[in-house]
A and B are shown apart, each in its own frame.
Chain A
Amino acid sequence: MPVAAITGKLRRKIWTDLGTSLGLGISSAYAYWYFYYIPSVRRKQEFYLKLEKENLERAS
């Protein structure tokens, strides 16, 4: 029995593939942004605010 020609795979899967890859890419980038970058900036800002407060207290 002959095997049917494997054709049209790209056309059939293009939206799934595009959606999956873009979805994964965007969610990974946002995961990095919200779970790594934003907390690190917040930690830094809190440290410098605390430092500033301590300096003001020391000065007054």
Chain B
Amino acid sequence: MCSNYLVRLNSTPSILLDAPAPWQIGFQDVASPGFEGIVSLHDSIMFYLILILVTKSGIVYKYLNHGTLIELIWTISPALVLIAIAFPSFKLLYTLDEVIDPALTVKVTGHQCYMVPESDLEEGQLRLLDVDNRLMVPVNTHIRFIVTSTDVLHDFAVPSLGIKIDATPGRLNQTSALIERTGVFYGQCSELCGV
């Protein structure tokens, strides 16, 4: 799996951001409802985070050396904010964990020590991301991925689909995806597996 993998859905070239770009800060473009939920939760939390960070940026307490009340306020209110974040976060987590009646199952096995000589890359291929054989799966179909490994811990991750699941030797993990649009989606092993 560390040789990277890729899902190709049809031959239509994609102009969307389905692979990491240089100096990229934000997410890749959403292609599944699960990832849509993750991005939505992140963006909602960012609203409150910006509010808190700018408000607490040193303007309020610039003359303040000591104050029990203010200490209490800025200890308790972050705790309340964390509790407020926890509820939608857990709801999303358990929703993503559900594998709804899959029409197709793909078994993914992780391997260590695959290397690709750079001279093998063709024009337009992405370094450390492209593969020889692309996995092709249909759109608008519930797909189940059963993930395992042969040697060490790996991690099957495709950011655009919101998939990131550990590949553990001797154990089967499962996750699902519903791909909403065609495209070429890239992912890398997201575990420190030694390659």
Contact = CB atoms under 8 A, between A and B. Distances in A.
B68 to A, nearest CB: 14
Contacts of A37: 43, 46-47
Interface string A28-59: 11001100010010001001100100000000
A32 B59 CA distance: 20
Nearest to A10: B63
A12 B82 CA distance: 33
A49 B54 CA distance: 36
A29 B52 CA distance: 9
What are the 7 tightest A-B residue pairs by CB atom distance, in nearest-first order? A25-B55, A21-B59, A29-B51, A25-B54, A9-B63, A29-B50, A28-B54
B43 A24 contact: no
Interface residues of A, number: 21
Nearest to A31: B50
B47 A24 contact: no
Given A17-B59, A20-B59, A48-B181, 19 more contacts: A13-B63, A17-B62, A21-B57, A24-B54, A24-B57, A25-B50, A25-B54, A26-B55, A28-B50, A28-B51, A29-B50, A29-B51, A32-B46, A32-B50, A33-B47, A37-B46, A37-B47, A48-B180, A51-B181
Given A26-B51, A28-B54, A21 B43 contact: no
* Size class of the B contact interface (CB-based, 8 Å): 20 to 34
Interface of A: 9-10, 13, 17-18, 20-22, 24-26, 28-29, 32-33, 37, 40, 44, 47-48, 51
Nearest to B40: A41
Contacts of A10: 63-64
B60 interface: yes
B127 interface: no
Contacts of A33: 47
Given A13-B63, A51-B181, A21 B50 contact: no
B134 interface: no
